[in-house]
Structure 1
Amino acid sequence: MSNDSAESTTATGLTPEQRLEAPTTHLVDAGIATIHDMATLRACVAYENTNQQRVRILRRLAERAQEIRTEEE
């Protein structure tokens, strides 16, 4: 897991914590919208499951995962 997190941080400069602990919901939504790979998404899901377990955030991450899968087809 730490490897995925390190790779996602290197690619974007944002850690899962920075993406999901933004001060406003608009920034959290933007952080999720700018996830472009499954490694970053998995790191964010792992972070959320370990820390807050917010249903709305987990639901949005699941939606973004589906969008990424669709884009990869």
Structure 2
Amino acid sequence: MSDPDVQSTDRSELSPEQRLEPQNTRLINAGIVTIHDMETLRACVAYENANQQRVQILRRLEDRASEIRAQDD
């Protein structure tokens, strides 16, 4: 039997596609706000650059990067 803690962690991790592709902009914003580390943020930027290249989304990701950096200081 698998460890339930591992399963719950896996379920809470969203891929860049899951964070950035919903049609509802509120869900996209929620996906960006819930990014807590630079690795995930970079993956989302890379995904957006490779797919949609939406300036508004890239700006939101840039703002989130600034927030994460400020928390790390």
Instruction: Specify the TM-score bucket, using the shorter chain as the normaliser.
Output: 0.7 to 0.9
TM-score normalized by structure 2? Answer: 0.83
Deviation at 1:23, TM superposition (A): 2.2
Alignment root-mean-square deviation, CA: 1.3
- Which residue in the other structure is 1:18 paired with? 18
Q: 1:52-67 counterparts in 2 under 5 A?
A: 52-67=52-67
For structure 1, the residue ranges without an aligned partner over 5 or more in a row are: 1-9
Distance in 2 of aligned mates of 1:56 and 1:11: 27
Runs of 4 or more, structure 1, over 2 Å off, are: none
- TM-score, normalised on structure 1? 0.83
Amino acid at match of 1:48: E
The share of aligned pairs that are identical, in percent, is 66
Q: How many residues align?
A: 64
Flag the structure with larger Rg.
Answer: 2
Structure showing greater relative contact order (alpha-carbon pairs closer than 8 Å, 6 or more residues apart): 1
